């Protein structure tokens, strides 16, 4: 809030301007008075937007809808001229203090005041949505705290500025924009409910639910992070959390919010004394400005009533500070106009206004470039984090794959060991099955001369047949007398030699093949003992 500056018009339509209330992306807001002395807020659209035909069409449509909004918790639109050379809009002045200014000066709202604020904002949004409007820029600066309740201002007008010729960026206030609004998706009334929840979190803590930081940082937090509701009273946390859901379909509507809050309890004041004092201070400042407002002099009044009646395109005479082309000569020499414009001609004022607009647009472009650069950095950081996450997952996948391969190799080794063990068991079983049993039973025949003499005789006969030697004596019942030591013993020794060695070698070979230790030892003893005995009796001489 401050006094008028050089270049500001003294009047807009039939409203005399008193002071500056603030400025936004669409235009300058002034404190004004009607001809009947009623205090109003006048929003004068920026000249660079006035030349955009599509903006004018949207502005006229939104103003028509905004005029239909009524209710105790909105500042109603009482006048507008969307067809003027510079469009303007007038709303009722509410003796109040902006929510952000009050919070900065006195701190967060207590729980009871927060519930009253929530109910008042819900009623205001319900009335705004009833006529088909979406606020699109609901923020603490657009919420006024009055002694009889909160007010919502600037509703339904942000959409008119939603054009590429305006700011080349998304319309809204970072920190209080919905995720779909940031991403440029189609907006519904649920977008206002997200901002509604963010305002309640702000009023409860004194800071936004997504903290502070650059515009791209806040936007990324809104899209990806959960809001900080630690300062919100516990009984309101479910409601605020539902309003700030990422999915628009999951957010409640204003009527649902009112149903949850219930009826407000009557009281002396819904605001703490510190907030009431802040409202009184703001109203006192306005009254001070109104008390020092310049009154129109005789010359200005004479000039006003002596001019030709205004046309629809020109608006009121006091708004023709910036005349249409070709009208500069008609007003340049008028003394009242000179006094109103600080001694500058209308053409000079137009150039000065255009120069300021160019500087402002250049600043907006630089800010937009900074925002885009920050967004790119945020995107690069997100990509770097995503790349690192992919690398981490790939490393984990490779480790898991290596562990799986090691597990499979271990299983293969275990399987091979089992197969080898089974093979050895089978070999042992086959060896056990192939072991030469019965060597002990042969010991009787190997020791007693039972089979040796027939084997010896047969061997002697076979050798004599092969080498034409003397045949062994024939055995018959008629000839049982022969030389025992001369003929029988050599045949008996030959039988021992042949039989015992053949049996011993057979058992030794099978025992070695089957790894039968007892058989190897037994057959070796048979061979050794047999040949030692034969040697001692002179068989080999």
Same domain, 77 and 179: no
34-68 confidence digits (pLDDT tens): 988 889 999 888 888 877 888 888 888 888 878 88
Q: pLDDT category, 442, cuts 50, 70, 90?
A: low
Same domain, 75 and 210: no
Question: Rg of the Cα trace of the chain?
Answer: 57
Does 195 map to a domain? yes
Q: Which residues pair with 77 in a beta bridge?
A: 91
Is 288 annotated as ligand-binding? Answer: no
DSSP 74: B
Does 450 map to a domain? no
Determine the Cα–Cα distance for residues 176 and 394; give it in Å rounded to an integer.
Answer: 38
Does 531 map to a domain? no
Q: pLDDT category, 304, cuts 50, 70, 90?
A: very low
In a 3-state reduction of DSSP, which class is residue 482? coil
Same domain, 227 and 88: no
Same domain, 149 and 267: yes
Determine the Cα–Cα distance for residues 386 and 382; give it in Å rounded to an integer.
Answer: 6
Same domain, 185 and 43: no
Residue position matching structure tokens 């009023």: 203
491-525 confidence digits (pLDDT tens): 777 777 877 788 888 888 888 877 778 878 888 88
Same domain, 190 and 49: no
Same domain, 186 and 37: no
Same domain, 180 and 266: yes
Q: pLDDT category, 298, cuts 50, 70, 90?
A: very low
Q: Which two tokens stand for residue 383?
A: 């990509």
18-28 confidence digits (pLDDT tens): 988 877 767 88
In our burial notation (b when 16+ CB lie closer than 10 A, e otherwise), range 467-500 reads eeeeebeeeeeeeeeeeeeeebbebbbbbbbbbb
Can you give the residue range of the structural domain that contains 42? Answer: 1-93
Q: Which of 8, 79, 81, 137 is catalytic?
A: 137
- The CB density around residue 424, as the number of other CB atoms within 10 Å, is 10
In a 3-state reduction of DSSP, which class is residue 139? coil
Number of H helices and E strands in the chain, helices first, is 18, 10
Q: What CATH number corresponds to the domain at position 137?
A: 1.10.510.10
Same domain, 26 and 126: no
Domain boundary among 93, 109, 140: 93
Residue position matching structure tokens 């996948």: 397
Q: pLDDT category, 328, cuts 50, 70, 90?
A: very low
In a 3-state reduction of DSSP, which class is residue 162? coil
Contact 287, 19 (CB under 8 A): no
Domain boundary among 271, 294, 329: 271
Domain boundary among 237, 271, 305: 271
Mean pLDDT of the chain: 78
Residue 424, pLDDT above cutoff 60: yes
Q: What CATH number corresponds to the domain at position 68?
A: 3.30.200.20
Same domain, 110 and 206: yes
Determine the Cα–Cα distance for residues 365 and 369; give it in Å rounded to an integer.
Answer: 6
Does 52 map to a domain? yes
pLDDT number for residue 311: 38
Per-residue pLDDT, averaged over 267-276, amounts to 84
86-104 confidence digits (pLDDT tens): 889 998 888 999 999 999 9
Burial class (CB in 10 A: 0-12, 13-18, 19+), 136: buried
Per-residue pLDDT, averaged over 166-190, amounts to 78
In a 3-state reduction of DSSP, which class is residue 21? strand
Same domain, 155 and 61: no
Does 486 map to a domain? no
Same domain, 68 and 134: no
Does 457 map to a domain? no
Does 4 map to a domain? yes
Greatest mean pLDDT among 48-62, 181-195, 262-276, 482-496 lies in 181-195
pLDDT number for residue 268: 62
Determine the Cα–Cα distance for residues 283 and 351; give it in Å rounded to an integer.
Answer: 36
Does 513 map to a domain? no
Active-site residue 420, yes or no?
no
The number of folded domains in the chain is 2
């Amino acid at each position: 809030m401050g006094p008028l500056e050089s270049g500001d018009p003294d009047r807009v339509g039939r409203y005399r301007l008193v002071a500056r209330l603030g400025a936004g992306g669409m235009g300058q807001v002034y404190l004004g008075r009607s001809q009947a002395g009623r205090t109003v807020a006048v929003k004068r659209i920026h000249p660079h937007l006035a030349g955009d035909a599509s903006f004018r069409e949207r502005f006229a449509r939104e103003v028509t809808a905004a005029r239909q909004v009524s209710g105790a918790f909105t500042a109603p639109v009482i006048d507008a001229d969307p067809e003027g050379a510079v469009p303007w809009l007038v709303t009722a002045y509410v003796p109040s203090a902006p929510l952000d200014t009050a919070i900065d000066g006195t701190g967060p709202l207590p729980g009871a005041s927060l519930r009253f604020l929530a109910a008042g904002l819900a009623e205001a949004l319900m009335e705004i949505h009833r006529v088909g409007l979406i606020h699109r820029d609901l923020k603490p600066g657009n919420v006024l705290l009055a002694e009889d309740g909160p007010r919502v201002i600037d509703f339904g007008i942000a959409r008119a500025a939603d054009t590429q010729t305006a700011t080349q960026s998304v319309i809204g206030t970072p920190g209080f924009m919905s995720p779909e609004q940031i991403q440029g998706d189609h907006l519904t009334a649920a977008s206002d409910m997200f901002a509604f929840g963010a305002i309640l979190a702000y009023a409860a803590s004194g800071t936004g639910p997504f903290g502070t930081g650059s515009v791209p940082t806040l936007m990324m937090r809104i899209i990806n992070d959960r809001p900080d509701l630690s300062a919100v009273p516990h009984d309101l946390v479910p409601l605020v959390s539902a309003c700030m859901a990422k999915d628009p379909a999951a957010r409640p509507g204003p009527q649902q919010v009112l149903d949850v809050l219930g009826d407000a309890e009557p009281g002396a004041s819904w605001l703490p004394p510190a907030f009431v004092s802040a409202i009184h201070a703001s109203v006192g400042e306005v009254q001070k400005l109104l008390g020092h407002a310049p009154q129109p002099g005789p010359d200005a009044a004479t000039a006003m009533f002596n001019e030709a009646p205004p046309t629809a395109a020109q608006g009121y005479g006091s708004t023709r500070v910036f005349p249409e082309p070709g009208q500069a000569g008609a007003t340049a020499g008028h003394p009242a106009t000179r006094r109103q414009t600080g001694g500058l001609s209308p053409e000079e004022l137009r150039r000065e206004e255009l120069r300021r607009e160019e500087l402002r647009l250049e600043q907006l472009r630089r800010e937009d470039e900074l925002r885009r650069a920050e967004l790119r950095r945020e995107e690069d950081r997100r990509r770097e984090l995503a790349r690192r996450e992919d690398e981490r997952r790939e490393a984990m996948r490779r480790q898991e794959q290596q562990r799986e391969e090691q597990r499979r190799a271990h299983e293969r080794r275990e399987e091979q060991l089992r197969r080898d063990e089974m093979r050895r068991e089978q070999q042992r079983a086959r060896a056990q099955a192939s072991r030469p049993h019965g060597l002990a039973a042969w010991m009787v025949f190997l020791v007693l001369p039972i089979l040796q003499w027939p084997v010896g005789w047969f061997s002697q006969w076979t050798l004599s047949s092969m080498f034409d030697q003397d045949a062994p004596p024939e055995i018959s019942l008629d000839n049982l007398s022969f030389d025992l030591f001369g003929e029988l013993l050599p045949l008996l020794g030959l039988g021992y030699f042949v039989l015992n060695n053949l049996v011993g070698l057979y058992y030794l070979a099978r025992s070695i093949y089957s790894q039968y230790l007892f058989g190897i030892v037994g057959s070796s003893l048979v061979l050794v003992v047999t040949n030692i005995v034969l040697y001692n009796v002179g068989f080999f001489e």
